[in-house]
Chains A and B, each alone.
Chain A
Amino acid sequence: MVGILVVSHSLSAAEGIVQIALEMSGGSGMVKIAGIGGNDTGGLGITAQKILDSLKQILEHSNEVLILPDIGSSILSARNAIELLPPEDASKVIIADAPILEGALMAAIEASLGSDLLKVAASAGEARNLRKTDH
C-alpha cells in the first residue's frame, strides 16, 4: 500500500491536514499517513534530514510513498531527501504536484483503494482542478 507524507513549514498545519485526510480515507488505519513540519526551535521550516527519517520509517510499513509538500523549501528539502535515500528506495517515492490539503485528501482516498504510487500521485494532482465556486 502507498503511504503518504505531508510536509509543511508548520507542524500544526501538517497534523491538521493528516487528521482530515485520515478521516476521508475511511479511518480504517490501512493507509499510513504521516505529517511533519517545523524546526527544532519551534519555528517554521523543515529539514531534508527530517523528511529522510520519516521516509525511512514509512517505507518500513508501506511499499511506496507519496510526499505532499507545501511550498518553497519544503519542496526543495523533499527532493533533497529523496536523493539521500538508497537508490532502491528512491524509486519508491514521488513528490505530488498538488495543493497540499486537497492533494493529501485525494491521495488518501486513492491509496485506500489499494492503487499504486503513480495512480495515487495522479489523483493528488487532480486536486488542482477541484472548483470551489463557479465564477
Chain B
Amino acid sequence: MAFTVEMVRLSLEKLNVLIEEKREYLTDLDSAIGDADHGINMNRGMKHIIEKIRGKEYSDFGGIFRDAAMTIMSAVGGSAGPLFGTFFMKIGQKLIGKSEVSIEELAVAMQDGLDGIMFLGRSGVGDKTMIDAIAPAVEALRENSSDGDSAAWNKAVIAAELGMKGTIPMLSRRGRSSYLGERSIGHQDPGATTSYYLISCFRDASVEG
C-alpha cells in the first residue's frame, strides 16, 4: 500500500466536512485565547480548497498541494492561511512529479512542510501552536512506517492527539494568545486542534478510503 494523489483529495474532502462540523468548537477554543476567528477562517479556507480541487485532474502531488496552498493563502486572512499554506506548499514541492509514494517518503515531505511552518512562524515545539500536534505525528509516521501503513497512521493520529492535548498546560509564546502570558495556560490551542483533525483525515483517507 502507498499514499496516492487521490488520497490527498479525499483527505481534504474529509477535512472540509470535519471543520464545518467543528467550526463552533474551534471558534470557542479561539475565543478563549485568540481572536475567535479560527473556526470561521478554516471553514472558509477549506471550502475554497474544495471548490478549487473538486473535479480537477491531478497527475502529481505537486499540483494538488500547490492548489490547496495557494487557495488557503488567498482565502484566509489569519495566521492559518500562510501557515497551512506553507505546509501544503512545501509538501507539494518535495513530491513534485510523483503520484504515489511510500509512507516513509510522505513523512519526509511532511517534515519539509513542518520545517516551513517553523521557519515562517519562527517557532518550535512547546510554544503552544500547531507545531505541537504536527511534529510528533510526523515523527510517529516516519518511525513506524516499517510496521505497515495502518499502524503508522494510527500511531501518527495518537501522537497528534497527545500533542494537541499537550498544549493545554503550555504557556503561549506565539500569536495573540502570547499577549495573555500566564492566562493562556489551561486552554487547548486551536491551531493544534485543527492540525490534529488534518492528521486524522489523512489517516482516514489512507486507511479507510
* A48 interface neighbour in B81, B121, B176, Cβ under 8 Å: B81
Stretch in contact with the other chain, from A69-77, A102-110, A118-126: A69-77
With known contacts A76-B120, A76-B121, A48–B82 Cβ distance under 8 A: yes
Q: Which residue of A lies closest to B40 (CB)?
A: A43
Stretch in contact with the other chain, from B67-75, B94-102, B157-165, B194-202: B67-75
Contact of B78 with A by CB under 8 A? yes
With known contacts A72-B176, A76-B121, A79-B120, A46–B82 Cβ distance under 8 A: no
* B73 interface neighbour in A45, A48, A72, Cβ under 8 Å: A48
Tell me whether A77 and B81 are in contact (CB under 8 A): yes
Tell me whether B120 and A46 are in contact (CB under 8 A): no
Contact of A63 with B by CB under 8 A? no
Contact of B76 with A by CB under 8 A? yes
With known contacts A45-B37, A48-B85, A76–B73 Cβ distance under 8 A: no
A50 CA / B120 CA spacing, docked (Å): 18
Tell me whether A76 and B37 are in contact (CB under 8 A): no
- Tell me the residues in window 26-67 of chain A with beta carbons closer than 8 Å to chain B beta carbons: 38-39, 43-50
Contact of B79 with A by CB under 8 A? yes
Q: Which residue of A lies closest to B117 (CB)?
A: A76
A73 CA / B35 CA spacing, docked (Å): 11
A56 CA / B123 CA spacing, docked (Å): 28
Chain B residues, CB < 8 A from A38: 77
Chain B residues, CB < 8 A from A44: 35, 77
Residue of A39, A73, A80, A83 most packed against chain B (CB within 10 A): A73
A49 CA / B85 CA spacing, docked (Å): 11
Chain A residues, CB < 8 A from B86: 80, 83
* A79 interface neighbour in B37, B74, B76, B82, Cβ under 8 Å: B82
Chain B residues, CB < 8 A from A49: 70, 73-74
Interface string of B82-113 (1 = CB under 8 A from A): 11011000000000000000000000000000
New A-B pairs, 13, CB < 8 Å, besides A44-B35, A48-B85: A38-B77, A44-B77, A47-B73, A47-B81, A48-B73, A48-B74, A50-B77, A76-B83, A76-B120, A79-B120, A80-B73, A80-B82, A80-B85
B→A interface (CB under 8 Å):
35, 37, 41, 70, 73-79, 81-83, 85-86, 120-121, 175-176
